[in-house]
Structure 1
């Protein structure tokens, strides 16, 4: 049967044979690895962009210590609240709500609560939240793209049945990765509860919505970087552009998905959320279209923006006479004359032949 399946679906995207590996008693889950890699990429790139805007090197890492835990908690809370039927009710185990490594993070909750953590970190280190948000925006959406690979390993977030050349093969998951042992009550429609795919039971081929979102996110990151460089975005506008671009794509991708989800007026709740957040991001961009990029002295941090060595971030870029408070040659000559006059004796002042 395996040979027939392979021959029939040469032009499709295969699913990974498993999404978890064991190192002794330790389970290494592909979904968790993808989330961690995404976070590392976002922090690394955010640090580079923040430093280029005048920020202190490594400051994004410092703020991420606050933002990342808040974001993970927020993402999980949003998922559990909007898909509560998966964890509460007859035959459900509420403790699974804490098993974040099995998948299930809502981006809306991650952004909302992650922003709270970032705000706390920015307040602590005295840097503008808007500058931090603009710096990390493209890295966040790339991290989301990497996270979608975790959904591929989990065989989740796919769309309706499809015979397109890039359709995704979905197999029935079996417990403990033992092929042929199909648990009672399991269905081929949503095989997301198990840890390894059985090559013996092909459920069909479906729209790879995880791949659509992955590619869309990478395109959004490219647009944000281009617009940020072209228009010198500041005041949170680069972050708002990321939010607008992401939600625009999420709206149509969400309409393709067939996994169970709570609905309102016949549409998935995430569709309404995407539309509302998109409109809010566009309004933000319009209202703040004339806001300039933050002063590098403020981005560096601290109450007065002074570096530990006493220089400001633009000292070496603008030259000594361009820095606020720096003495000009005329001011220096005047100060020297005043000091000389203050050091003269009364006799010297009365002698017309002395300088």
Structure 2
């Protein structure tokens, strides 16, 4: 099978058309991830005393803000290109949004929303954190459909030795070469993180309030550091320094430091499971 045959086997990033509107698989995966995340957050929030309407209202603000911030983050580090192609800045459906930008935007919304509603910020972050990393794992398949977030050149035999299905191998033939499926590595890492956090947070007297969220940051940033090192489409800060790797280091050690500091400063911090006594009116 030659390169031309493989290109023809690449999956269509367009799922279907609604009249003149093209519905992209990228958007479908992101939308599906959000819906599942909201459902699980509402279910868990009810156990911790956070009413569903608070989560729904917060998401209505967090979703558009996170998309805008994700795009701004991406465009800012690709400004030499976008400064010459201003009409492409809004084309988020073609990919090109940065997850760290989305997390920053969503985090700001969570903070200000919870403060305005007198909801403990750390508790809300603990409720939604596992579903966020689950959503990230699902969302990476949108990158797969767009043939982006790929890794360095590899061989067909390497991909076959991973026992990957043929549709993934074919989709990893990009720009004339087979590529490392870094989208898959990160997706698997995220899903494992989701499973781990979902189980650990219900162990009595294990997580203090805020530590489910900080555990998510530690887990995600650790994996992202190594996956980012395998990618060839990274946003660069300066020289050979990758933006996401630099930020991952800061978040990893920063989150560990925050956990240690909070526990030493206030040994009586409430545990995550104590959140069931919180009632919002």
Structure-1-length-normalised TM-score:
0.68
CA offset digits 1:52-101 (Å, max 9, x no partner): 1122234311221222222112111111112223311xxx3212111112
Bigger Rg over Cα = 1
Conserved? CA contact 1:220–1:245, under 8 Å: yes
Q: Please, which of 134, 153, 156 is the counterpart of residue 148 of structure 2?
A: 156
Distance 1:4 1:154 in 2: 18
Do structure 1's residue 251 and structure 2's residue 246 form an aligned pair?
no
Q: Give the direction of change, closer, same or farther, for the CA distance of 1:247–1:59 in structure 2 (3 Å limit).
A: same
- Correspondence 1:169 to 2:165: no
Structure 2 distance, partners of 1:3, 1:267, is: 33
Deviation at 1:118, TM superposition (A): 1.2
Q: Which runs of 5+ in 2 are unaligned?
A: none
CA contact (8 A) 1:145 1:215 kept: yes
Aligned twin of 1:268:
242
CA contact (8 A) 2:221 2:249 kept: yes
- Single out whichever of 105-114 and 145-154 deviates more from structure 2: 105-114
Q: Distance in 2 between matches of 1:16 and 1:252?
A: 27
The equivalent residue for 1:118 is: 110
CA RMSD of aligned residues (A): 2.5
Kindly tell me: are residues 4 and 48 of structure 1, through their superposed partners in 2, closer, same or farther at Cα, counting changes over 3 Å?
same
What residue in structure 2 maps to residue 96 of structure 1?
88
Matched, 1:221 2:216: no
For residues 230-281 of structure 1, what are the alpha-carbon distances to aligned partners after superposition, in whole Å with 9 as ceiling and x for unaligned?
2442421101100110000000000000125324342212111111111111
Structure 1 residue 238 and structure 2 residue 216: aligned?
A: no
Q: Distance in 2 between matches of 1:137 and 1:204?
A: 37
Using the alignment, how far apart are the partners of 1:37 and 1:263 within structure 2?
A: 32
CA distance in structure 2 between the partners assigned to 1:17 and 1:272 by the alignment = 34
Corresponding pairs, count: 265
**Structure 1: unaligned runs, 5 residues or longer:** 7-13, 173-187, 190-202, 303-355
CA distance in 1, matches of 2:28, 2:144: 13
Tell me the equivalent position of 2:270. 292
1:296 to partner: Cα distance: 4.2
Residues 15 and 168 of structure 1 are in contact (CA less than 8 Å); yes or no, is this contact kept in structure 2?
no
Give the TM-score taking structure 2 as reference length: 0.85
User: Which of 279, 283, 306 matches 2:257?
Assistant: 283
